[in-house]
Amino acid sequence: MVESRDIAGWMARCATAALAAFALAQPAAASTAPITAYYYDPALTGYSFPGPQQAVMTIDVKASIGGTCGFATGAAPSGTVNAGQIDVSAWTQDVPFTVECTAPWRIAVSSQNGALKTAAAGATGYATKAPYDVALTLPWDTGFATGTVTASCPVAEIDQAAGSTPCDFEGAASTANGLLVPRSFGLSGSKMTVSAPAYSGTDVLVEGTYNDTLVVTISPAS
């Protein structure tokens, strides 16, 4: 009787182990074929374990980063340039700014007047506009190489009323318009320089206050 109870217990354990051994794991959604894992019972002897104990699944995880491009907070080109007496001395002044563009980008500048201009009335032999130059200095860093893009144009070529001109940065920046610059994020040294020698035109400048307004725009490049 004792021997019969031992045999019955052993058979029950075998039956339980067999049922567990052939339980199927649920396949992962990303898999294209069934994946089977088996339970290994160390108390079971004389049993050929088919393996494996683990179902290995591979799941592809993808992500993307959208490009961003703009002026750093508090570091857009702004302020007022005082050129002084432009008929007496040469003048130059830098307007610094910081760009944060994670991909290639473009920059453009437009001038409201195409010159320093006074509202005073002119007459024969007198001028109401004084020319000057606008230059850009733009450092870049792609992570693999570094450099600086530079360009300079007479302000008349970026006059908002002038239309298309030879200047590389005239108009408003867009994916296709403006001076092209590689990636540049938070680099110091970007600046716009406005300058001119002392006015030496044929006509005499009319007495008055001269001014112009420059608008700088940047955009991701296509």
How big is the CA angle at 16 (ends 12 and 19), to the nearest 5 degrees? Answer: 140
Share of the chain above pLDDT 70, in %: 85
Using the 3D structure, point to which of 39, 62, 85 is the last residue of a domain: 62
How many domains does one find in the chain?
A: 2
Q: Of 141, 188, 150, which is closest to residue 169 (Cα–Cα)?
A: 150
Same domain, 37 and 86: no
The answer to whether residues 50 and 153 belong to one domain is: no
Measured CA to CA, the distance from residue 7 to residue 99 in angstroms comes to: 82
Residues 52 and 79 in one domain: no
Beta-bridge partner residues of 195? 92, 133
Are residues 99 and 13 part of one domain?
Answer: no
> Which of the listed residues 29, 62, 95 is the one where a domain comes to its end?
62
Distances from the Cα of 165 to the Cα of 153, 156, 162, angstroms = 10, 9, 7
Residue 106 carries which side chain, given as an amino acid letter? R
- Domain termination site, one of 16, 43, 62: 62
pLDDT in tens, 127-141: 999 999 999 999 999
E strand spans, the chain: 69-71, 91-96, 99-101, 105-111, 116-118, 126-127, 129-130, 133-141, 146-154, 179-181, 184-185, 191-196, 204-205, 210-211, 214-220
The list of the chain residues with pLDDT below 70 reads 1-32
Residues 163, 119 within the same domain: yes
Q: 184 lies in which domain range?
A: 69-220
Q: Does one domain contain both 107 and 200?
A: yes
Does residue 104 share a domain with residue 36?
no
| pLDDT 10s digits, 64-106 | 988 789 999 999 999 999 999 999 999 999 999 999 999 999 9
Whether 89 and 11 map to the same domain: the answer is no
User: Which parts of the chain fold into alpha helices (H)?
Assistant: 2-21
